[in-house]
Structure 1
């Protein structure tokens, strides 16, 4: 009887547990059946007017051709320097400067290259952007920023090239190994210096005023050990309508920065989704992972130059006497340009993979799948929403809008107990969404 009683008790306990589990599982099953991530994704895509989608598709697909034209322009400039004898004559004229000839040659080369490329650059980076309603600057303002960029790249580049040519001339066949190591040091220094000293040359950075947005972002940062004690807003609207944000810097220079366009055009849910993504890059150490990948690619790039340069300049072609001759700099540049042009799908895939990881992190941190989806639609103003599979692999350095929204809806289906059809989120306090400028 005791055994029978224990059996009955166990059966009763199992029955009660089963009933309880059944009560829990029925709503989950009903929810799973009611919420379809694919259908929810399509519902978001359907909110984009056909003309707006056609416009963003045309803009983004045109960028594919711009990559090719940019390479061809670089090739034409290299031909002017090499086949036209400009590099040889410039080297000979600067020979009297001794050891300073190399950095001065680089500065002259950079300025001449910019002048020769200006018609293309002005079309691609200013005129075309204005055509699509993405550029707010006048030509004069845009050109002013270009001059600042030219000055910075000329001066910093001159120092870097000076060291690289010293490495080539003194270390012989192993130069490409040491040049790669030096490149890593330069990249790290730029990551540290850029947010503090370079970025403020183009935009005004100010601490964000206390409020719900600032407190929400600092709370997200503290909970994930992002060592930023303030949030900065910068006036990106002086250049463009595009929305953006970042967590930048290393070794004490880490800062959270948001564009004023993000604050003006996005809801609190969208802002949290964006910043969750950006904090994901920081927490997942993507900058170091990307440094590793870039270092390897640059290392193989130097090796490629080492193997090809001598064959192309055999017999003193173009007046170039060897890899250590600064007159060969245009050839080095075009070889590197061709190398990275061919590797575009590889580099894009490396970056796109990191972006997908940051998306997943951001969804878990912000818990704002609908905010994530709606901000993806805002980004679709200048990114094709739904490319083909190979198109995304080759040309996209971020996941497509479709895949980002689908990831958000899948997260919503798995994590929110009462997922519903997409609904607009509430505006962030003090930041009502603004319509994009035409």
Structure 2
């Protein structure tokens, strides 16, 4: 099994990478459709020739790294199973303690660290790419600090979830997926509640918007939309990136309206107001709660399918991997592979729904602000600032884009201007 795994990986992965390269760099079209040429959606009307060239290069390299990374994590988990590392991780945890509350966290930590190390080259390549093309301004030490912080936060959360999950597996062999889903619901709500005030501040400094006039205008928009906000926050992102962003997140008393300082530095007030109206539109149309409901529903479906498939996988290959049964913590890499495949399979539908929600928020924002010129200007500056591809290849849009393309968004605004 080991030799076959190495052979097939050594043959198929380079072929896959080469096909991705051919598609992105030689087969996918990069031109602007005739219907958009010369319009505000045509990047040649608001980008220099050099910016156009850089945006094409940056987008293609970034997309290449994304598609290369898709099968990598699954291959790592499969290698842990095939080469017998999973039982070794388990025995190490058992050597420390025979209690599940100790040995399972040790296993999760070892698996997470092993995966983190092997995926680090992709993370570093993405960082290097962003620095080379002037998107990231973050120092290597600061970037490493954030990366390690993400690792420990993610691992801690994973330890809690996996410890509970495998305890349920042992106690309820046929209904663990259902009980796990029931417990996930309050967890999702809790994470959504604490994200703005506990997790986000670990990475960046948040402060009250230092422009009281602009803050008042934004709060007036929020008040018009019945958003219970008393202040607008700005976050210091200019030390890390040149990209721009704004968002409304959190629920209840922890709801926050947030602007990156890069957005404030690069956009005019009217353009900022359009961006904020877009984010307010998500709140007004309950996209935050609909997204939460979608996550809850998809987790139910995913856990049930994983329950069915995991039993089949362990029954067929478990003995060769040294995995005794489904509730054995050594089966975790197999569970992760199944969940990764389910996530990949469902991502096009999820992204399509997201694009629809983003389009609705754009429409809400333009109707709220009634300033299409500022709206177009904000999207054009976002494109230039982030070296975005206004017309990405079809597969990139299908598997990556949770927003409509900039070409679609700007052309929608142009239609509004005509009306």
* C-alpha distance in 2 between matches for 1:339 and 1:353: 22
- Residue 390 of structure 1 deviates from its aligned partner by 6.3
Q: Is the 8 A contact 2:42 2:407 kept in 1?
A: no
Relative distance call for 1:65 and 1:178 in structure 2 (3 A) is farther
> Quick one: distance in 2 between partners of 1:378 and 1:74?
35
Q: Counterpart of 1:117?
A: 119
Any stretches of 5+ residues in structure 1 without a counterpart? Answer: 1-35, 415-438
Return the alpha-carbon distance in structure 2 between the equivalents of residues 336 and 310 of structure 1: 14
Structure 1, 249-258 or 335-344: larger mean CA deviation: 335-344
Which of 363, 367, 370 matches 1:364? 367
Q: 1:135, 1:241 within 8 Å by CA — same for their partners in 2?
A: yes
Alignment RMSD: 2.1
Pick one of 388, 406, 409 that aligns with 1:401: 406
> What is the rounded CA distance, in whole Å, between the counterparts of 2:311 and 2:64 in structure 1?
31
Q: Is 1:344 aligned with 2:347?
A: yes
Partner of 1:333: 336
Deviation at 1:44, TM superposition (A): 6.7
**SS across alignment from 1:239:** coil
Tell me how far 1:139 sits from its aligned partner: 1.3
| Partners of 1:37 and 1:413 within 8 A in 2 | no
Shift of 1:388: 5.5
Secondary structure, in 3 states, of the residue corresponding to 1:236? coil
In structure 2, what is the equivalent of residue 29 of structure 1?
none
**Matches of 1:118 and 1:107, distance apart in 2:** 16
Q: How many Å separate the matches in 2 of 1:45 and 1:179?
A: 52
Question: Which stretch of structure 1 is more off in the superposition, 154-163 or 192-201?
Answer: 154-163
Q: What is the aligned partner in structure 1 of residue 24 from structure 2?
A: none
Per the TM alignment, residue 396 of structure 1 is displaced from its structure 2 partner at its CA by 1.5
Structure 1 pair 189–382 and aligned structure 2 pair: CA distance change class (3 A): farther
Rate the CA distance shift 1:402–1:278 in 2: closer, same or farther, 3 A: same
The within-5 A match list for 1:212-227 is: 212-227=213-228
| Helix, strand or coil at the partner of 1:136 | coil
- Identify the residue that residue 321 of structure 1 maps to in structure 2: 324
Structure 1 residue aligned with 2:61? 62
TM-score computed with the length of structure 2 as normaliser:
0.85
Q: Which residue of 1 aligns with 2:380?
A: 377
Query: What is the aligned partner in structure 1 of residue 12 from structure 2?
Result: none
Asked whether the 8 Å contact 2:205–2:235 carries over to 1, the reply is yes
**Which of these two proteins has the greater Rg computed from alpha carbons?**
1
Q: Cα–Cα, structure 1 residues 383 and 154, in superposed 2: closer, same or farther, change >3 Å?
A: same
Check whether the contact 1:313–1:322 (CA below 8 A) recurs between aligned residues. Answer: yes
Shift of 1:75: 2.4
Contact 2:244 2:260 in 1 (8 A): yes
Task: Go from structure 1 to structure 2 and tell me whether the alpha carbon gap of 1:112 and 1:40 turns closer, same or farther (over 3 Å shift).
Answer: same
Residue 373 and residue 63 in structure 1: after superposition, are their counterparts in 2 closer, same or farther (change >3 A)?
same
Mapped to 2, the partners of 1:84 and 1:257 lie a distance apart of 47
Question: In the alignment, which residue of structure 1 is the partner of 2:299?
Answer: 298
Q: Is the 8 A contact 1:37 1:409 kept in 2?
A: no
2:392 is matched with 387
How far apart, in 2, do the equivalents of 1:51 and 1:87 lie? 50
Which consecutive residues of structure 2, in runs of 5 or more, have no partner in the other structure?
1-34
Deviation at 1:243, TM superposition (A): 0.4
The residue that corresponds to 1:190 in the other structure is 191
Offset of 1:398 from its aligned partner?
A: 0.5
Distance 1:373 1:200 in 2: 32
Over 3 Å counting, the alpha-carbon distance change for 1:391 and 1:75 in structure 2 is closer
Residue 267 (structure 1) aligned with residue 272 (structure 2): no
Partner of 1:102: 104
Tell me, in whole angstroms, the C-alpha distance in 1 between the residues paired with 2:79 and 2:375: 48
Q: Could you tell me the TM-score, scaled by structure 1's length? A: 0.81
Equivalent residue for 1:81? Answer: 80
